[in-house]
Amino acid sequence: MSSPRVIDFTAPGRVNLIGEHTDYSGGLVLPMAIPFHTTASLSEPADDHYHFTCGMFPTKRTIARDDRSTRVGDWSDYSVGVLRELQVLGIEVPPFHLHIEGNVPLGAGLSSSASVEVATAAALLHHAGAKLPVGEIALLAQRAENRYVGSPCGIMDQFVITAARAGHALLLNTRDLEYKLLPMNTGALAACSIVVVNSGVKHTVTAGSAYAERRKEVEEGQTLLRERFGVRDLGDAEMEQLDSVRAELSPESYKRCSHIITENARVKRAAAAMLAGDAAALGQVLQEGHVSYRDLFEASCEEVDFLVEVAGQQPGCFGARLTGGGFGGCVVNLVAKDAVEDFVAAVKAAYKQHWQIDAEVYLCEASDGAVAEHPEIATEEAPDERD
């Protein structure tokens, strides 16, 4: 008997260079895909059901084709949520066995969940013989997370994991999903590396989490600014407008919105620095972004602040900041290539000495997203560098 045919679909993780929590209020983000992957392996089942298994977790799940049950609270929700959203679009998905494997660090702010969603979407679109526009694949994965998993995330992670291109960061306007691919090797940036240091402090983006609390505080300010000034979202808003309604907002909302409005401006500066190949200017923006994320958004933690401070003291480090949803996770560092070895040794040693934690360090080349790897799932050509 021949063994069943298995087809693999992959999606990367991502690291965000800058633009934190701006992706649910029409703002700008500047992430890139990283060389860690989720693989969704698809094979024919022996019956008429949908089967979900995973190499990282022991629980398995089998559901009938007309199953309408809600989330169960484990890894499988990310894949089942994607199946549901395909069904909502009227896409008929034949029975399958989907097996998930991956090496994207979990709970580290590197988007392991979105990676599972997009790898699943790629596999199931192929299985159904369907295609979607690049942005629709990302939106479908985001809806799976918002509606089925119950996490109130924005669109950044699913979008970059779908649309990224190797060698580029992706500047995304989250209001209309217009984007540009910015080369990582212009001018002085060609001699730099993106070094990601994992604090080992786990974070979460679930409904009852601090992430969700921050989102509510951001939306409080956005609603008021819409009423008063007719802005579409915080992506349109100015600090002067926010300052003029400060007395009507909770102190938390004022601080969170201050972070968002200034963060959007920082993303523009970061993109300009990248296009100019100016590593010092890019590093400076990262550093300012950390201060805002720490003091205004209050999303950092002592371990991460320690890593950022130590990084800033190392020769050849242009800038460092907390990346991702916050409350732990990773620090992204822009480091001169010829200083990386000493940088890594110094940061690891200091962290170990102070916190007794072995920090994992990842040297990240900007990688391809799922559509570049599996062009047959998209109605458009794989995205290319745009001006």
Report CA-CA distances (Å) from 147 to 72, 82, 194: 13, 10, 33
Smaller CB separation from ligand GAF, 41 or 323: 323
Whether residue 295 lies in the annotated active site: no
Minimal distance, residue 123 CB to ligand GAF, in Å: 21
Q: What is the C-alpha to C-alpha distance for residues 182 and 170, in angstroms, rounded to an integer?
A: 6
Q: Distances in Å between the alpha carbon of 334 and those of 152, 197, 269, 289?
A: 29, 11, 15, 13
Q: Are 43 and 17 in contact (CB under 8 A)?
A: no
Least Cβ distance, residue 22 to ligand GAF (angstroms): 7
- 1 Cβ contact list (under 8 Å, min separation 6): none
Q: Does 263 bind ligand GAF (CB under 6 A)?
A: no
Judged by CB under 6 A, the stretch of 61-69, 151-159, 184-192, 285-293 that binds ligand GAF is: 151-159
Non-local (6+) Cβ contacts of 349 within 8 A are none
Among 9, 11, 15, 23, the residue binding ligand GAF under the rule CB under 6 A is: 23
Among 108, 116, 156, 285, binds ligand GAF (CB under 6 A): 156
Task: Provide the token pair at 349.
Answer: 């040693």
Closer residue to ligand GAF in complex, CB, 98/156 = 156
Secondary structure class of 63 (helix, strand, coil): strand
Residue 361: CB minimum distance to ligand GAF, A = 20
Nearest approach, Cβ of 174 to ligand GAF (angstroms)?
Answer: 9
Is 205 a binder of ligand GAF (CB under 6 A)? yes
CA distance 61 to 59: 7
Q: Which 3 state secondary structure label does DSSP give 43?
A: strand
Comparing CB distances to ligand GAF, the nearer of 218 and 372 is 218
| Token couple for 24 | 């649910």
Q: Which of 141, 153, 317, 371 binds ligand GAF (CB under 6 A)?
A: 153
Given 77, 85, 117, 157, the residue binding ligand GAF (CB under 6 A): 157
Binding string, 64-103, against ligand GAF, x = CB under 6 A? ----------------------------------------
Q: How far is the CB of 109 from ligand GAF (least distance, A)?
A: 6
The residue written with tokens 């097996």 in the block is 99
Which position among 77, 157, 233, 236 bears the catalytic label? 157
Strand 50-54 and strand 96-102: the pairing is parallel
Question: H/E/C letters for each residue in 37-96?
Answer: EEEEEEECCCCCCEEEEECCCCCCEEECCCCCCCCCCCCHHHHHHHHHHHHHCCCCCCCE
Residues that bind ligand GAF (CB under 6 A): 16, 20-21, 23, 111, 153-154, 156-157, 205, 324-325
Catalytically active residues are 157
